[in-house]
Structure 1
Amino acid sequence: MTTKQRIIAAALQLFNEQGEANVTTNHIAAHLGMSPGNLYYHFRNKNHIISAIFQQYSGHLRQSFAPVSEPTSPAMWFHYLDATFYGMWEFRFFYANLNDILQRDPELHKQYLLAQQELTINLQALLSALNRQQVLMIPEAEIAPLTDVLKLLASFWVSYQAAQSLVPNISQAVLYEGVSRVLLLLKPYFHPQFGLELANLMAHYQALSADPSDPFHK
């Protein structure tokens, strides 16, 4: 791992654990046991580090939600839902403080909008593909607004949950509850022949919401 990669990884860890607003470049440098000058050699400021982390986040969205070209299976549904959870967990600081981060950095805001436009196109294509494969039965006119609602839930579930307590604790269980809400939104659109698969999916994620372990970093 290069020094630049170590800085990005350390910043992501500290932002997630302590909140982005509470972490400075000096904190990141101290965590790595390096001088602030060494950090500034690689990154001009904290916003520059956040921008680098965002590139990882947008890459995750691009790779995980690319349109499908072949019939989907329940295994693929797990893939998409796990990708949703992974993004919410791995980049939870970004979701928790989204508006403030974007307002501080207009260039990052532009990149975010481009990533969201691409995600919208991919999600609409995915829902349309599931319609064609008769997994879902979504009226054509509802695909675009349903996509917006799914994105809204994923984007603001963390900040919503943080506001529900005087001492916020965004655990993996909380995020898996968010994934379960995604399934609840889609439930009315599932074709009846996939009722058992849907029930298994919902049971799977409800069980995970009660499991404190991290399936991605064991």
Structure 2
Amino acid sequence: MKTRDRIIHSATELFNDQGEPNITTNHIAAHLGISPGNLYYHFRNKEDIIHSIFEQYANHLTASFTPWRNGENNLQDLMGYLDAIFYLMWQFRFFYANLPDILSRDELLQQKYLKTQEQMRTTVFTLLNSLREGAFLTANQDDLPDLGHAIKMVVTCWIPFQTAQAANARITKALLYQGVLRVLFLLKPYIHPQATEQYQQLTQHYRQLTQSVE
């Protein structure tokens, strides 16, 4: 792995484990066993590193959420979308946990974030519409934008909401799988009768995951 990639990987790991506000470029360099000067050769400052991490986040968003294949109802496809939600919340949990603070101090990053969210608004609508056309959801097309917005709110706010419930609350995989279950719960009123069994299978699958991971 190239030094630049190692820096991004280690910074993400440290931000996730110890909290982004608690980590400096010196901490990242020490964790990698390189000099601060070597780190600054690749990145100007911590914000520059965060921009690169955000690019990875945005790329995962684009790659992970594509419309339903051939308009068909496919359990594995929907599970893939839900797994992608979990992966993003876990891999970039520091970003979700400190989102307002990170964006408030970096106008350029905020612009990138808003652009990404606008693109996701269209993507989520298209995805939900494909679920409707694939006979998984019965939602009226006019309701899809609000449903998509509600799902985005749950995903974006799940970590800060949970960590605010108790002092020194830990962000665990089990906690994030509970967030995935909340997304499924939002879909529950719109599940097509013929997809009820698949919905129940998905719910049971993620309930089991909350109990099998830490």
User: Which category of TM-score, normalised to the shorter sequence, fits these structures?
Assistant: over 0.9
Taking structure 2 as the reference length, what is the TM-score of the superposition?
A: 0.97
Q: For residue 132 of structure 1, report the CA deviation from its aligned partner.
A: 1.4
For 2:139, what is the secondary structure of its paired residue?
coil
1:140 aligns with 141
Q: What is the CA-CA distance between 1:168 and the residue it aligns to?
A: 1.3
| Cα shift at 1:130 | 1.3
Residue in structure 2 matched with residue 27 of structure 1 by the alignment: 27
One-letter amino acid of the structure 2 residue matched with residue 88 of structure 1: M
1:209 is paired with a residue whose SS is helix
Q: In the TM superposition, what is the alpha-carbon distance from 1:211 to its structure 2 partner?
A: 1.6
CA distance in 2, matches of 1:58, 1:74: 25
CA apart distance, 1:100:
0.4
Deviations 1:127-164 (A, max 9, x none): 11111122101112211111111000000100101001
One-letter amino acid of the structure 1 residue matched with residue 100 of structure 2: N
Report the counterpart of residue 16 of structure 2 in structure 1.
Answer: 16
Alignment of 1:44-59 (within 5 A): 44-59=44-59
Partner of 2:194: 193
Q: What are the Cα deviations for residues 52-107 of structure 1, in whole angstroms up to 9, with x where unaligned?
A: 00000000000011233412400101100000000000000000000000111111
CA distance in 1, matches of 2:196, 2:147: 20
CA distance in 1, matches of 2:208, 2:182: 14
Question: Equivalents in 1 of 2:200, 2:115: separation in Å?
Answer: 35
Give the CA deviation at 1:31: 0.3
- Corresponding position of 2:163: 162
- Aligned mates of 1:68, 1:114 — CA distance in 2: 24
Work out the number of aligned pairs and report it.
213
Please give the TM-score of this superposition, normalised by the length of structure 1.
0.96
- The change in CA–CA distance for 1:72 and 1:196 in structure 2 (over 3 A counts) is closer
Please give the alpha-carbon distance, in whole angstroms, between the structure 2 residues aligned to 1:103 and 1:85. 25
1:204 is aligned to 205
Percent sequence identity is: 48
**Which letter maps to 2:15?**
F
Distance in 1, Cα, partners of 2:89 & 2:128: 20
Q: Deviations over 1:16-74 (max 9, x none)?
A: 00000000000000000111111001000000000000000000000011233412400
Contact 2:11 2:49 in 1 (8 A): yes
Q: Which residue of 1 aligns with 2:95?
A: 94
Unpaired runs of at least 5, structure 2: none
